[in-house]
Chains A and B, each alone.
Chain A
Amino acid sequence: MEFSKDMALIRPELWLTGLAMLILIVELLLKKKEVIALLSILAIAVTGFFVINSSSGIAFSGMYISDGYSMFFKILFFLSALLTILLSMRYLSQENIHYGEYYSLLLFSVLGMSFMASSNDLILLYLSTELMALSVYVLAGFKRYSPRSNEAALKYFLLGAFSSALLLYGISFIYLLTGTTNIKEIALKLSSGTSEPVLMIALLFLASAFAFKIAAVPFHMWSPDVYEGSPTPITAFMSVGPKAAGFSVIGRVFIIALGSIAVDWKVLLSILAVLTMIVGNVLAISQTNIKRMLAYSSIAHSGYALLGIIAGTPEGIASTMNYLLIYTFMNIGAFAIVIIMSRANPEGDISIGEQISDYEGLSKTEPLWAALMLIFMFSLTGIPPTAGFVGKFYLFMSVINAGYTGLAIVAVIMSAVSAYFYLRIVMLMYMKEPLKAITVSPNLSEAIATTISTGLVLIMGVAPYYFIEFARASMSL
């Protein structure tokens, strides 16, 4: 009986596993890769349906937990994967890398992320993180003939393996202290104990490993290179999905398992957050490749999102979740335009349309896409009435309420700095004459993805109520 109940609880993941494998097999038989993409979307839809209708509970002797928190993140992962698939089809054909494994790998990484959000045990957490990471390593190197893509994959893999080691090391220290890997039990054991040096070491290792996953400074070095070299849809995906997954485990491990030493990790995360915001925003200014710029911008946004975790209050966590959701749409939206703009480059490594200078005069040749890019850039800056403003506003509210006004001031000043590089894109598009007439021809799926992103960025900016309530209601850790 116990077993069947457990199986019922992980039904979404079971379906996703089965469908991803099925797609891997079907791919061998089908020539038309678009069908595979559609099947993947269907797989996500089916899994999403089960997630929405799933019940809360704990399974497999406390290893797996299904609650509002995990549900929120799973929906976020599915949405990011969905948008990624929509943005992949034309790009992959254009780069001559349209293979079906791509989609199953994407699904497997989403599977890993789902388990991450649901892990109530450090072992499951480790395994699911690896499942996600391994799939993404391969995806990063998917442009097999491109040295940059290979470099990206290798760099990501080596550093990622290193961070996995740190994670394991941290977990073993925790086990040493508490004799358990179950998150809730760790919390119980630790609440009675004092803050020993060993625990601090464990904290340091765990924080480093997670900081790597969310690309927080000083563990961000990999991300510009990896973001630049990877196929652009994968860059878009990495900047939102795995990052949000990292936040989901940070939330669970730090707030619950290490709740008793919150004072210590709040200091640590505050330092990380300040560094991340400053370094990300400042280094983004001097970039010439738009993917690298968005990589640094993505680093900076990790810094903002950390604020809610540092606040540590239910409102704080809800604000981080809300921000990640908003960030998913605005960042994938921005990447959607980058993907639409890109052209295969027969001579070189970097696709045409990836240089920031390629955006010069875009408003003249492609007014619609320029206008959408403008919306995403202002949203990333955090200017109302876009969703980016609401997200930041919520974060600042919760962090100020928790007494960290200083952090909020750093964050707002860095937002003002970020205006410089986001607006540079707008400036190039609207205030320069086109050097070469770039025209784009997005396909239907790209148009759908962009419409979804734009629509949500604007709706969440003007009527954020339901999204805030969604984050709040899901926040029951």
Chain B
Amino acid sequence: MGYPVLSTVIFTPVIGAMLLLLIGRRSENAIRWVSLIFTLLTFIFALPLFLNFDKTTASMQFIEVFEWIPAWNIKYYLGVDGISVLFVLLSALLGPLCVLISWNSIKEKVKEFYIALLLIEAAMIGVFCALDFFLFYIFWEAMLIPMYLIIGVWGGPRRIYSAIKFFLYTLAGSVLMLVGIIVLYFNGGNTFDIPVLMSQQLPYKLQLILFWAFFAAFAVKVPMWPLHTWLPDAHTEAPTAGSVILAGILIKMGAYGFLRFSLPLFPEATKAMAPFMLALSVIAIIYGGVICLVQTDLKRLIAYSSVSHMGFVTLGIFALNQQGLEGGILQMINHGIVTGALFLLVGIIYERSHSREISHYSGVATIMPVYAGFFMVFTLASIGLPGLNGFIGEFLIILGGFKASMLAGALAATGIIIGAAYMLWLYQRVFFQELNPKIAGYRDMDMREIITLLPLVIFVVWIGVYPNTFLGFMHESVKELITKLNS
């Protein structure tokens, strides 16, 4: 452990990106290998977080503090606790998978693509580690630049529209949070130090105003209904790796923001607003699910399913009890794995057919049995089949939801049924029925593609069968959070 784990994890991809700058743009394979090595290194460097994490405390661990801008009392301050550590690991896990899945599908501006990918990974991990608001905001915003480029340069036909929409929505939300952060600074004793700010009691009125300022940033990112409209466009048009990052990590940041900042910083405002947030979450669950039923585009369907799934996550968070919160956090990880995997799978078949239309496919199972198997696993995980990860998260959330509000719990449960409907129907349309002769020549998944997906299958089963490995990380932090809420 003799190295600053978090800084190493954040800056390994940055170093990789710098190294890529030095490689000539013609040597595309070298670029791919360097990216793969550096994302793998990032993952390896992140492993101590998993192995050496002290699960018996709620306090921050792996802390690194340096003075950065003393004029404003800004520090380079990193640390993780039970809430954030899993996201760091998830980001580090998805990094190499994104490199692998883009291996053949990105053919133009390869160098720029991998630079953007590495930088976005660094910024994402930074967001989850930052314990100084200034530093947090830097990472939060810095992520926009590479993401904008990834969608806009390597995306689908409507990429430019989607990229600008993504950028403007998230920027508009973030800047309001920036004002909130500065107001917080002056009302919290001229400091951006998040743990210090958390230990303070703010007046109720201020809490309420700041809650909404932060809401603007987080609700766009989650995205909560009715601010979700950028998501289907961005997810659909982004290249596969972009979709995976968006679905796997980026939209988790909104929910993470609520957990990390809104709940502990503005506990009274949160409690006052919880019914409203529950209502928005339920709307997202049902609305997102129903919209999925009418989609004709594979990626768009999965994108809308994210709206529904993130509804579950925010429902769990704003249930404000142990089950709901733990379920919410776990479900974020689950959704990152499962939806990430589904986007990877769609990417695999898109690479062969260059069509996202559901009607273009039928009977895929007969020509691509391995692919169908993988797709089945993640479909079932997404639906919440017991024994797979989705079940644990959704179960905990609904348990918490019922505790908070019978109505919300009941409505959310119907959302699960809708989820089963659209996913199974999708599966039926794509994989069963007569084989469409137009797609008959497709080859099944090759080794690279299997290696890309295998780790995710392992996690789907692991979390489904023995969730305590992961829930154990968060018990103490969630308990602490609830005490803070009720104090």
Contacts and interface: CB of A to CB of B under 8 A. Distances in A.
Nearest to B176: A412
Contacts of B144: 383
B18 interface: no
Contacts of A469: 71
A416 interface: yes
A431 B142 contact: no
Contacts of A464: 69
7 nearest CB pairs, A to B: A412-B175, A384-B138, A416-B172, A431-B152, A416-B171, A400-B182, A468-B71
Contacts of B152: 427, 430-431
A405 B183 contact: yes
A469 B71 CA distance: 7
Interface string A32-71: 0000000000000000000000000000000000000000
Contacts of B183: 400, 405
Interface in B138-182: 138, 141-142, 144-145, 148-149, 152-153, 159-160, 163-164, 167-168, 171-172, 175-176, 178-179, 182
Contact of A400 (B70, B138, B179): B179
Given A405-B183, A431-B160, A419 B138 contact: no
27 contacts: A367-B112, A383-B141, A383-B142, A383-B144, A393-B178, A393-B182, A396-B178, A396-B179, A396-B182, A397-B72, A401-B186, A405-B179, A412-B179, A413-B175, A415-B171, A415-B175, A416-B172, A423-B167, A427-B160, A427-B163, A427-B164, A431-B153, A431-B159, A431-B160, A465-B71, A468-B71, A472-B71
B145 A383 contact: yes
A419 B171 contact: yes
B153 A430 contact: yes
A464 B68 CA distance: 9
Interface in A443-477: 464-465, 468-469, 472
A393 B135 CA distance: 12
A423 B164 CA distance: 8
A394 B172 CA distance: 19
B185 interface: yes
Nearest to A432: B160
Given A396-B178, A400-B179, A423 B148 contact: yes
A298 to B, nearest CB: 21
A137 interface: no
A359 interface: no
Contacts of A416: 168, 171-172, 175
A267 interface: no
B143 to A, nearest CB: 10
A469 B178 CA distance: 22
A119 B197 CA distance: 45
A244 B444 CA distance: 64
Interface string B371-398: 0000000000000000000000000000
Interface residues of A, dominant DSSP: helix
Interface residues of A, number: 32
A389 B163 CA distance: 21
A389 B181 CA distance: 14
Contacts of A472: 71
A115 to B, nearest CB: 31
Contacts of A419: 167-168, 171
A379 to B, nearest CB: 11
A378 interface: yes
Contacts of A400: 179, 182-183, 186
B137 interface: yes
Nearest to A397: B182
Contacts of A408: 179, 182
A159 interface: no
Contacts of A420: 164, 168
Contacts of B178: 393, 396, 412
Contacts of A413: 172, 175-176
A416 B166 CA distance: 12
B138 to A, nearest CB: 4
A442 interface: no
Given A383-B171, A400-B186, A405-B179, 14 more contacts: A384-B137, A384-B142, A394-B72, A396-B178, A397-B182, A400-B183, A409-B179, A412-B175, A412-B178, A420-B168, A431-B160, A431-B163, A465-B71, A468-B69
A259 interface: no
A397 B185 contact: yes
B453 to A, nearest CB: 30
Contacts of A426: 148-149
B172 to A, nearest CB: 4
A426 B159 CA distance: 14
A426 B68 CA distance: 31
A385 interface: yes
A430 B138 CA distance: 23
Contacts of A396: 178-179, 182
A278 B159 CA distance: 28
A370 B349 CA distance: 34
A420 B109 CA distance: 24
A397 B152 CA distance: 33
Interface in A337-355: none
Interface in A372-391: 378, 383-385, 389
Interface in B107-132: 109, 112
Interface in A394-422: 394, 396-397, 400-401, 405, 408-409, 412-413, 415-416, 419-420
Q: Which of A363, A383, A400, A468 has the most CB of B within 10 A?
A: A383
Contacts of B134: 393
Given A413-B172, A431-B153, A389 B141 contact: yes
Nearest to B160: A431
A401 to B, nearest CB: 6
A419 B171 CA distance: 8
